Amino acid sequence: MLLSRVLEEKLGSLYRAGGRIVGGVYLGKGQEAFSAALGIQLRKGRDIYGPLIRDQAGRIAFGESLLDAVRTYLGAVTGPMRGRDGNIHRGRPKEGLMAMISHLGSLVSVVAGGLFARRLAGTLHDSVGATSIGDGGTSTGAFHEGLNMAAVEKLPLVISVANNQYAYSTPNCRQYACVDLVDRAKGYGVQGVAVDATDLGQCLEAFDAAVKRARNGEGPQMVVGHLLRLSGHGEHDDASYIPETARKGPSSVDCLPAAERRIIDEGWMNENELKDLFTEARGKVDQAVAKVSKEATPDPFKEKWQALSSEELAEGHHEA
Amino acid sequence: MLLSRVLEEKLGSLYRAGGRIVGGVYLGKGQEAFSAALGIQLRKGRDIYGPLIRDQAGRIAFGESLLDAVRTYLGAVTGPMRGRDGNIHRGRPKEGLMAMISHLGSLVSVVAGGLFARRLAGTLHDSVGATSIGDGGTSTGAFHEGLNMAAVEKLPLVISVANNQYAYSTPNCRQYACVDLVDRAKGYGVQGVAVDATDLGQCLEAFDAAVKRARNGEGPQMVVGHLLRLSGHGEHDDASYIPETARKGPSSVDCLPAAERRIIDEGWMNENELKDLFTEARGKVDQAVAKVSKEATPDPFKEKWQALSSEELAEGHHEA
Amino acid sequence: MSITYLEAIREAQYEALRNNPSVFLYGQDIGSFGGAFKATKNLNKEFPGRVFDSPISEDAMVGMAVGAAVEGARPIVEMQFADFSSVGFNQIVNQAATLYWRTSTPCPITIRMPSGGTAGSGPFHSQSMEAIYAHYPGLVIVTPATVEDAYWMLLDSIAINDPVIYCEHKFLYYHLKADEIGTRTLPIGKARIARPGRHATIVTYSAMVHEALRAAEELQLDGYSIEVVDLRSVKPMDTDTILASVARTGRLLAVGEAFPWGGVTAEIIARVASEGFHLLDAPPMRLNSKDTPIPYHPNLWKAHRPTIATIAAALRRLLRY
Amino acid sequence: MSITYLEAIREAQYEALRNNPSVFLYGQDIGSFGGAFKATKNLNKEFPGRVFDSPISEDAMVGMAVGAAVEGARPIVEMQFADFSSVGFNQIVNQAATLYWRTSTPCPITIRMPSGGTAGSGPFHSQSMEAIYAHYPGLVIVTPATVEDAYWMLLDSIAINDPVIYCEHKFLYYHLKADEIGTRTLPIGKARIARPGRHATIVTYSAMVHEALRAAEELQLDGYSIEVVDLRSVKPMDTDTILASVARTGRLLAVGEAFPWGGVTAEIIARVASEGFHLLDAPPMRLNSKDTPIPYHPNLWKAHRPTIATIAAALRRLLRY
Ligand SMILES: Cc1ncc(C[n+]2csc(CCOP(=O)(O)OP(=O)(O)O)c2C)c(N)n1
Ligand SMILES: Cc1ncc(C[n+]2csc(CCOP(=O)(O)OP(=O)(O)O)c2C)c(N)n1
Ligand SMILES: [Mg+2]
Ligand SMILES: [Mg+2]
């Protein structure tokens, strides 16, 4: 989560400086504990992970390389999306890291489908699938259909609901009317828990338990995390619509310094060791950015303008 | 519900005889108590009603005429759908009776929208909206989005969930994984109750209370009724997939004779009075069928082939 | 012995399930019930654990197929009616269709869509959505018109490493019969000369092929020989075969059952007008259904879509030019 | 003082809210935030209780608008991006579009769709879906290309008693400016001669009107005078104005930013080829984006859609014929 924060701060400053970043930047500030706590439960190469907008920390914990992130944000042709798609849409599906489309909720059934196919092929073993959704995303039909289907099929799917109180500018009161989104779990026949997502310890415990239950064949699991989005929706957004009361509310705690304090208080590391970690992270990020800056951006003349994998079925462009 | 049963039996036999009925026939046998108990709570001209497949009884209770039903089934051009659409899709939206499209779940938001507009216009007063869904229909994204939106807007919407254990041939175990569909209510922030829908008394009580709560401004209400579909999905379907255990299970009680017994036992009517009611109903239905049989079916040369209400924007057909 | 169009669809799924353990079937009521039209009859008995009844969740049905395909499966999704794919639309055009292009991960899914009109089915059980899907990059759209094609093109669709929208016409299900399935037909992407002729070309597809053939027979009585091209797949569309036919006849009528604005017939005419302008001896014509929802009553339905009579009338106008 | 295309959209909504108490606005983040693009900036302050933030539920957003319209309201729904209307697709094409035809109840809703490509927006924030909606009976599809049309056509859309898909092009939001909104423009259904000419006609719409105009200027330097027709609405499509232009020039190039299979350009060519065949001195041509999803990186995006250069090149080929 520390590396995630450092990377995202860099991406934010590159965005504000202009010129280097292609398109928008969407950060997960304040959500690192919740996101990473799920990511570290997953085993790359064996589990399926479908991260969403604010899951940089989860991606790193899952094992996505820094280079994949930086290359996608900088639109390098060397990245997994080759300049065709950007930022948070990146992924390597064949390696279990799904590449989200923008339409919220639509990844739930996709991750479920991966698990379904594995069970059919006899290769499921104790693998799990995990994906995220925001408070806003829970209002989509796709979320509902996907989770219900996963429950009917009793798939080992862990769904993490990051309730950061806002969907872009829309507050929870315009998004749902239940007391806590975890109240939805029972209606799907799914086990659900809610945690204070600003507290790394609670997050770790909840996801550890949920992922274990899923691995044990107990069917889909829902973990709802309460927190506040500490950045704009994207870096173009100053989030001035978030009122002071929320900014100072109990969920506004920044999980990262809180976790640092805990680490120091518990004596797991001292301040200098932590500082070293930051310095190391900054070094890695700067190195990645420096490397990618020299890499090629896509060339339309070298681009293969073909959406189908089947060569023989591709049509010409029927251009004038 | 008695008239409904008589009408539907007639429609079923017309279907089997062949030649008169246009398209399929979808009956509500066994669901009359649940459907009518909602319908009679509604005031035509003031409330909005969006009936679904098995709501013939609710339609009659709401005040839809027998002629509208028969004309639509027989494809008479005099009917509300003028032969353009058929059977259960009929309605008179301007009179508060919505005309469902086939896509399940999609009426929930429409009924909510009607209430929303009334509140905005200051004409909501104590009117309510009501619509139905089946166990299968609850799996649609449209149902989820519509109910969630109604809850967010705190609209006086009553949703009746007729859990008749099957969606066409698909049993509940392949449709959802919660214990009882009423468990969903809390997740929407909606009040929910479950009833034995084969028992008219329970149905009346539940809908009376739910509609009252909605009228009182307590927001959306969900009433889940447990029963068994006592007909095929449509009259083309012999429902042989419903196993003996279900056919003899506690939900397999036919609400109509059960209600009759109750009426006689309580001394509200005697057997002869009930028989007279049936005879009267048969007379009405036969009369309606006889009348409609003489009415014109649509004539393609008189048909106005235009989907838009705005004359000036209609395009020609661009026929060869 | 004979086999119907519908049975051919069942047989193809049988073959696919038998030959490839990665194939599975997912759709509403397709398990023990065998599907609303019985296209999967007995398959769940013959292949236990590979044919699944799904919840009424078209969006999730397609999404799950995509996820399964990523893991190496080759799912076949049955929409109960093509019309209901409108609620799975997003997963089809944005999730499935873009996956390979975005991530280099092929997406071998087949979505079966019972399409087209039948008497008394009305606005929501009669639609032909091929043009909607063909507009989006990344999808293959097939529209078999014969028993042979129903069989072989379904097997080919399953074999293709891209998402295929398989539009099967409900009007042909029971009526269209062949003595046997026959030998392998043309590959997907190639059109077929359903009837050779010299005076005019009808380009069409799916159920309208049969109406066109009958209209051609009618014109034969007047001494005209009409060529009928069956597109077989509307994307890719076999422009070469179309142009070669128009080169022979000099006259083009494009016929389709879908709505008139845009769609397959507009695409046919646009291609011929652009790439074969000099081949045309007369203005190209098209014939579609009318620009209203599809009516429920058979009286109206019969007048809404092209018929032998309206096709023949259009041909006569085309030939008089 | 000057006004942008985006501001014109805001002003039109302001006017509609002011003049008609039945109008209300429903969409994600359109309330106090003023919308992702600020098309509803301050409207919720100026019209308290008439501008609503919706949940992320495109299906329900459209469904609720239909229900409200039945009760006499005139809702304007904002899709955050046209691309997200794919999850509201069913309510648009099956609920809203069929309501009047089925029940004689008009359905006066307006759905605003921020459409089209901008650099760095990628496959799911750049789509042009006009052809998808135009295929379905019962919808009106407008595609304003000027500040004046953005304003007047939005007011007209709200006034129409049928569902209107209002495709506003994001590329024009900030760049396109006018000194003032100007007087009432043509009614919906009428195309506009954006530039008169004698040697060839470009028929186009939305943002591509401006690329076409610049290409026409380029050709002017070579001594060619190119007529540019701005369709304004793609359904209804003003065939008469198109044919009259082709009658003057004898040459047709149809240009659109959407995907190449089918769509507006195919419809234009099909109409001209069928109804104005004898007017054409050369094969009609069309130019669309490429048949892949819309790329994220500006290098690719610029090559994916038609540009001044590719339009000019196409014109040169057309004129050489
Ligand atoms: C179906 C759909 N509609 C609209 C959008 C536009 N959109 C992108 S992010 C967003 C807000 C998401 O809020 P939430 O789910 O709470 O996630 P958060 O951004 O708070 O992490 C919206 C409306 C979308 N991506 N998908
Ligand atoms: C979105 C959608 N998918 C599929 C169908 C086809 N269909 C019509 S009725 C039905 C079963 C409905 O079951 P349920 O909701 O339980 O209602 P019931 O028939 O039991 O009253 C299905 C699958 C449909 N109408 N809508
Ligand atoms: Mg949020
Ligand atoms: Mg049911």
CB atoms C70 and A113 under 8 Å: yes
- Helix-then-strand count for chain A, H and E: 11, 7
Distance of residue C118 Cα from the nearest chain D Cα, in angstroms:
18
Judged against a pLDDT cut of 90, whether residue A320 lies above it is answered with no
Distance A223 CA to ligand 4 centre (A): 31
Tell me: do D121 and D221 sit in the same domain: no
Evaluate whether residue D187 is within a structural domain.
no
The reply to whether D296 falls in a domain is: yes
Residue D220 domain-assigned (yes or no): yes
What pLDDT was estimated at residue A319?
54
Residues D217 and D251 grouped into a single domain = yes
Could you tell me if C174 and C30 lie in one domain? yes
Give the pLDDT of residue D19: 98
- Which of B142, B154, B173 lies closest to A141 in CB terms? B142
Report the pLDDT averaged over residues D49-55.
98
Q: Pairing between strand D140-142 and D233-235?
A: antiparallel
Whether A260 has a pLDDT exceeding 70, the answer reads yes
From chain C, pick out residues whose CB is under 8 angstroms from the CB of D90: 86-87, 89
Q: C6 near C38, Cβ under 8 Å?
A: yes
Highest-scoring range by mean pLDDT, A15-19, D183-187, D248-252: D248-252
Residues D217, D287 within the same domain: yes
Chain C touched by A317 (CB under 8 Å): no
Residue A221: phi, psi to the nearest 5?
Answer: -130, 140
- Is residue D67's pLDDT more than 60? yes
Given this model, what pLDDT does residue C66 score?
A: 98
Name residue C273's beta-bridge partners: none
Mean pLDDT of B107-118: 98
Cβ contact A186–B189 (<8 Å) = no
Residue A312 resides in a domain: no
- Rounded to an integer, the average pLDDT of A3-31 is 94
Closest Cα partner for A207 from A219, A221, A196, A188? Answer: A221
- Helix H or strand E segment including A132: strand A129-134
> What is d(CA C46, CA D115) in angstroms, rounded to the nearest whole number?
49
Q: Is the residue at A275 inside a domain?
A: yes
Residue C186 lies in a domain: no
CATH number of the domain enclosing B162: 3.40.50.970
Q: Kindly identify the ligand whose nearest atom is closest to the C-alpha of B233.
A: 2
A103 to chain D: closest CA residue: D84
Residue B320: pLDDT band with limits 50, 70, 90: low
Q: Is residue A309 in a domain? A: no
φ, ψ dihedrals at C73, nearest 5°: -80, 165
Number of domains in chain D: 2
Q: Does one domain contain both C167 and C200?
A: no
In this structure, are D122 and D233 located in the same domain? no
> How many angstroms away from the CA of A220 is the closest CA of chain D?
23
The reply to whether residue C282 touches residue D283, judged by beta carbons under 8 angstroms, is no
Chain B CB contacts of C124 below 8 Å:
89, 101-103
Tokens 């944005």 sit on residue? C94
The yes-or-no verdict on residue B135 having pLDDT over 70 is: yes
Per-residue pLDDT tens, chain C, 321 aa: give them. Answer: 799 999 999 999 999 999 999 999 999 999 999 999 999 999 999 999 999 999 999 999 999 999 999 999 999 999 999 999 999 999 999 999 999 999 999 999 999 999 999 999 999 999 999 999 999 999 999 999 999 999 999 999 999 999 999 999 999 999 999 999 999 989 999 999 999 999 999 999 999 999 999 999 999 999 999 999 999 999 999 999 999 999 999 999 999 999 999 999 999 999 999 999 999 999 999 999 999 999 999 999 999 999 999 999 999 999 998
Q: pLDDT-based confidence at B22, cuts 50/70/90? A: confident
CB D51 within 8 A of CB D30: yes
Cα dihedral C92, C93, C94, C98 sign: positive
Residue D198 has a pLDDT of 98
C265 and C167, same domain (yes or no): no
- Interface test mutation site (partner B, options A133, A178, A182, A190, max chain B beta carbons within 10 A): A178
Q: Does residue C183 fall inside a structural domain?
A: no
In a domain, C187, yes or no: no
Record the pTM: 0.98
Q: Compute the distance between CA of residue C316 and CA of residue C321 in angstroms, rounded to an integer.
A: 9
Q: Are D137 and C282 in contact (CB < 8 Å)?
A: no
Domain end: D178, D212, D245, which one?
Answer: D178
Confidence of residue A316 (pLDDT cuts 50, 70, 90): low
What's the pLDDT score for residue A19? 85
- The angle, 0 to 180 degrees and rounded to 10, between the axes of the packed helices A200-215 and A32-39 is 30
Alpha carbon separation from C202 to C146, C226, C303, C313 (Å, rounded):
17, 7, 20, 13
Which residue in C173, C223, C233 sits closest to C200, CA to CA?
C223
User: What is the distance, to the nearest Å, from the Cα of residue A215 to the centroid of all Cα atoms in its chain?
Assistant: 21
* D184 found inside a domain: no
Segments forming the whole domain that contains residue B50: 31-65+94-283
Q: Which of the residues of D are catalytic?
A: 125
Among D124, D150, D178, the domain boundary falls at: D178
Is D87's CB within 8 Å of A101's CB? no
Residues D141, D112, single domain; the answer is yes
Query: What is the ipTM, given to two decimal places?
Result: 0.98
Residue B142 has pLDDT above 60, yes or no: yes
D-chain residues near B95 (CB < 8 A):
none
D62, D90, D103: which to substitute to probe chain C, counting the most C Cβ within 10 Å? D90
Ligand nearest to the CA of C59: 2
CA–CA distance, D296 with A82 (Å, rounded to integer): 9
Would you say residue A6 has pLDDT above 80? yes
* Structural domain includes residue B299: no
The reported pLDDT for the residue numbered B19 is: 85
C151 and C276 inside one domain = no
DSSP, res C123: T
Domain match, D226 and D248 both = yes
- The confidence score (pLDDT) of residue B318 equals 54
Per DSSP, the three-state class of B107 is helix
A120 part of a folded domain: yes
CATH number, domain containing residue D310: 3.40.50.920
pLDDT score for D158:
98
Distance B154 CA to ligand 3 centre (A): 21
Tens digit of each residue's pLDDT (9 = 90 or more) over A86-113: 999 999 999 999 999 999 999 999 999 9
CB contact under 8 A, A110 and C64: yes
Ligand 2 neighbourhood includes B167 CB (under 6 angstroms): yes
pLDDT at A22: 85
C236 upstream amide cis, omega within 30 of 0: yes
Q: Do D19 and D94 fall within a single domain? A: yes
pLDDT of the residue at B315:
83
Looking at the domain assignment, is residue A19 inside a domain? no
Q: Does the structure show a pLDDT above 70 at D319?
A: yes
Q: What is the pLDDT of residues A166-220, one digit of tens each?
A: 999 999 999 999 999 999 999 999 999 999 999 999 999 999 999 999 999 999 9
Number of folded domains in chain A? Answer: 1
* B70 in D contact zone (CB under 8 Å): no
pLDDT at B130 over 60: yes
pLDDT at B317 over 60: no
Here the CATH number for the domain that contains residue D58 is 3.40.50.970
SS3 state at A280: helix
- Could you tell me the residue range of the domain that residue C303 belongs to? 192-320
Residue C165 lies in a domain: yes
Helical spans, DSSP H, in chain A: 2-17, 32-39, 56-62, 66-73, 107-121, 141-152, 183-188, 200-215, 244-247, 255-265, 271-293
Does ligand 2 lie within 6 Å of residue B174's CB atom? no
Cβ-Cβ contacts under 8 Å, C282 against chain D:
277
CA distance D179 to chain C (A): 36
Q: Is A168 in the pocket of ligand 1 (CB under 6 A)?
A: yes
List of E strands, C79-173: 110-115, 140-142, 164-169
Say what the pLDDT of residue D1 is.
75
Residues across chain B? 320
Q: Which residues contact A95 (CB under 8 A, 6 or more apart)?
A: A44, A45
Which of D86, D90, D98 is the closest to C93 by Cβ?
D86
Nearest-CA distance C93 → chain B (Å): 17
D111 and D86, same structural domain? Answer: yes
